[in-house]
Amino acid sequence: MVEKINVAVNGSYGRMGREVCRAILEEEGLELAGAFDLHGHGEDIGEVLGKQKLGILIQELNREVLAEGKTQVIVDFTTPMAVMNNIQLSLNCGIRPIVGTTGITQVDLKLINEWVEQAGLSAVIAPNFALGAVLMMKFASLAARYLNQAEIIELHHDQKIDAPSGTALKTAEMIAAGRGAEPRKRDELLKLPGARGATAENVHIHSVRLEGLIAHQEVLFGGLGQTLSIRHDSYDRKSFMPGVILAIKKITGFRGMVYGLENLLDL
């Protein structure tokens, strides 16, 4: 009999965290080992999910609980302000982190990689866990070989505090890596500051935050007499769960840091 992977969820009281808890409970081979959050302290996560009591009370992430050794993997959907401390604490306690929290910078990634190497463990940092979004980014990197002019429009719910999204920044990196040649520069007259959006890797990124949205991104390519649009839409947070489950099941099988879910897929 294959032993189950014990998984804790940090940010379990939030909308994404609750979906992750549900997915873990429904997946064979996984065991929900803990629920952490700054909110909902003392509530049974089972009742929070609308199920029967599980005997797992929501508590604040702390070294004492993690050091008990019950948790092998922790999934983090918290905030950009807390995520780095969460990752370091998890690794220090011998727990492998899977991080969907956005706002992680290139400088942060270098530091996380050092922590992972020092701990001799593994970590997955993924700007987006939706398999369709991962394919969208991959297709964009392929298109960039032939159409080097590209712009990104990313749209998210109004509670998302960071901009641009991690998915948009990752897409810009993949476009830059896939380009056959840099797009030609042209003069611009901006009548309003920011009218052309932000720029990453010589790719313009436009961020939209509106009530009613979940997570959406369109990559527009331009070429001689033609355009190409590659778009992905998440209409429900359940769309991220297959990618989260995939990461949980694979993270114990390798060492080192993986940045981007595409690196766990056969693409």
**What is the set of active-site residues?**
156, 160
- Integer Cα distance of 178 and 258 in angstroms: 19
104 contacts 128 by C-beta, under 8 angstroms:
no
Q: Which two tokens stand for residue 208?
A: 């939209």
Residue bearing tokens 């070429």: 223
Q: Is 218 exposed, middle or buried (0-12, 13-18, 19+ CB in 10 A)?
A: middle
> Phi, psi (5° rounding) for residue 231?
-135, 145
Residue partners of 197: CB distance under 8 A and separation at least 6? 151, 204, 205, 206, 207
C-alpha dihedral over 222, 213, 260, 16, to 10 degrees? Answer: 180
> Phi, psi (5° rounding) for residue 5?
-90, 125
**If residue 115 lies in a helix (H) or strand (E), which one and from where to where?**
helix 106-119
Q: Are strands 203-209 and 198-200 parallel, antiparallel or unpaired?
A: antiparallel
- Integer Cα distance of 216 and 135 in angstroms: 13
> Phi, psi (5° rounding) for residue 91?
-65, -40
C-alpha dihedral over 19, 23, 26, 27, to 10 degrees? Answer: -170
